[in-house]
Amino acid sequence: MSEVQGFMTVDAVARHLGVSRRTVYEWVSQRRIPFYKIGGTVLRFRPGEIEQWARSGFQSVRDF
């Protein structure tokens, strides 16, 4: 998993979950996956949160 300062990139999440980058961006826009915006534009993901989310069956997340 490629991580930057403890966070994963969109590419790393896509590879890790076996989906396309576009799918990850769609999940973000639908607020289905836990994510962080750094500097207002850069998307990052915490590996532990992605693992937990994936184990839960890719369910939607609440307000983030």
Q: Is the pLDDT of residue 4 over 80?
A: no
Model pLDDT for residues 14-40, shown as the tens digit of each residue? 999 999 999 999 999 999 999 999 888
Domain-located, residue 13: yes
Q: Hey, what amino acid is at 57?
A: G
Query: Who wins on pLDDT, 62 or 41?
Result: 41
Check if the beta carbon of residue 13 is closer than 8 Å to that of residue 24. Answer: yes
Q: Residue 43 has what pLDDT?
A: 96
Please give the C-alpha separations between residue 61 and each of 2, 12, 18, 52, in angstroms, as whole numbers: 23, 20, 20, 11
54 DSSP assignment: H
Q: Is the pLDDT of residue 64 over 50?
A: no
CATH number, domain with residue 51: 1.10.1660.10
Domain-located, residue 11: yes
Total domain count for the chain?
A: 1
Q: Residue 47 has what pLDDT?
A: 96
Domain hosting residue 27, numbered range: 3-55
- pTM of this prediction? 0.80
